[in-house]
Structure 1
Amino acid sequence: MRRKLCVAEFKDKEDKLLVVASSHLEIPCLRRPTSNQMISRVCVEQAKEAINHLERNENVIFCGDLNWDDKLDGQFPLPAGWVDAWTESRPGENGWMYELSGNGTLQKRQDRFICHLRDYKISGIDMIGILEAIPLLLLTISSQ
């Protein structure tokens, strides 16, 4: 599905470069159940390709809806020096996301923040909308 890696570069006041990249990897849940293994392989390949592209940088945050399923995809492919911000900051916490369809907790952590930081450190990570879905905003425009 023509997935892309969106990349932004930032420099701090000491001229240190921080690269922040995001992607939305292949979605296995929208395919027929028999194709999950094939889609999982594509998702793993996309993750590896993104990491390979980004690892030349000293300070990187790769994040997004990576559709990662530890049971189906295995552990996220972290090269030496890379960490998963959630497991680094909150060891032992599952970090499962809320399922918007109303079924409660999805029991998966599909959204990830994967970091390779030489000049920075992770000070924490928090989940937004922990117990329930975040209410949708509605903008109403009326004519005069």
Structure 2
Amino acid sequence: MVTYNVFGDPSGASERASALMAELEEADADILAFQEASSWFLDRLHRQPWVSAYAGTAIGGERLSPSGLYLLSKYPIEGCGVIDLPGDEGRAVLYADIRVHDISVRAAVIHLAADLDGRKIRAEQLQVVFDLLRDADHGLLLGDFNFGDREPEDWSLEAPYRDLWAELRPGEAGYTFDLANNTMAQNNAFACERSRRLDRILLRSEEWREASITLMGDRALAGSPALFASDHFGVIADLVLPGGWVAQQ
């Protein structure tokens, strides 16, 4: 599976979209979760032949992308919806109930409040999201959490959920908003902001097991050292399902 904040600003959109589409096609992931999915990105995405293998979050035939959140799945989406989150930034959580063979999973896509001083509101937003996932057989939470490791909001992450990067690559920074290695992140950072692992994949399941996780989009575009696919790096993870089958998630 992939989570990717694709940076909704149209600056350099043509070049960045080409890079994003190539990365996503190569990833061949079963679940794609996007943040800041603006119209230019969605239009380009749905012109790709490989996207025909996916179902997207939609209600009444209309693409569902509240606050730029969007999800694609190679497995059937049995239902989806949106719940508004606390705060004055107009944030929401997009959720989809996905059937993976005989397993039902609820996936939630988030882009939490961005304000560096918004710790309290991010904790409140996470509580709404975890309440939404509580009754699901298996819970999956993907997106831009807008806080890094060892920040106060870490205490708001509920114990049954495993942070896949922390489980598989403990001690590695895994910065997805990397001011040292992404010029676009440098340009878009708040004053005094540092590199952080903002983008995460969390899993609650006794059956699924994490197998691998890595970053994507962490190289500048060819011939354009100041231009990346996004100001965030994406995250891609594989899970092992019952019976030893590995999902190219």
Cα distance in 2 between the residues matched to 1:49 and 1:78: 12
SS at structure 2 position matched to 1:23: strand
Name which of 115, 118, 122 aligns with 1:43.
Answer: 122
Give the equivalent residue in structure 2 for 1:20.
Answer: 107
Asked whether 1:95 is paired with 2:178, we answer no
Q: Which letter maps to 1:19?
A: R
Q: Structure 1 residues 71, 122: CA separation in 2 closer, same or farther (over 3 Å shift)?
A: closer
Contact 1:70 1:76 (8 Å CA) reproduced: no
* Displacement after TM superposition at 1:74 (Å): 4.1
Q: Percent identity?
A: 22
Q: How does 1:110-121 map to 2 (within 5 A)?
A: 110-121=198-209
Give the equivalent residue in structure 2 for 1:66.
Answer: 145
* Displacement after TM superposition at 1:115 (Å): 1.1
Give the equivalent residue in structure 2 for 1:134.
Answer: 228
Q: Which letter maps to 1:44?
A: A
* Displacement after TM superposition at 1:76 (Å): 4.7
Cα distance in 2 between the residues matched to 1:135 and 1:63: 19
C-alpha offsets along residues 10-47 of structure 1, whole Å, 9 cap, x if unaligned?
1122x210111101110114xxxxxx1xx111011111
Contact 1:48 1:77 (8 Å CA) reproduced: yes
Q: What is the TM-score with the length of structure 1 in the denominator?
A: 0.74
Q: Structure 1 residues 118, 58: CA separation in 2 closer, same or farther (over 3 Å shift)?
A: farther
Contact 1:41 1:73 (8 Å CA) reproduced: no
Higher strand proportion: 2
Q: Provide structure 2 residue ranges, at least 5 long, that are not aligned to the other structure.
A: 1-88, 188-193, 221-226, 231-249
Q: Which letter maps to 1:134?
A: F
Q: Structure 1 residues 4, 123: CA separation in 2 closer, same or farther (over 3 Å shift)?
A: same
Give the equivalent residue in structure 2 for 1:57.
Answer: 136
Q: Which letter maps to 1:11?
A: R
Q: Provide structure 1 residue ranges, at least 5 long, that are not aligned to the other structure.
A: 30-35, 137-144
Name which of 93, 98, 112 aligns with 1:10.
Answer: 98
Cα distance in 2 between the residues matched to 1:72 and 1:120: 27
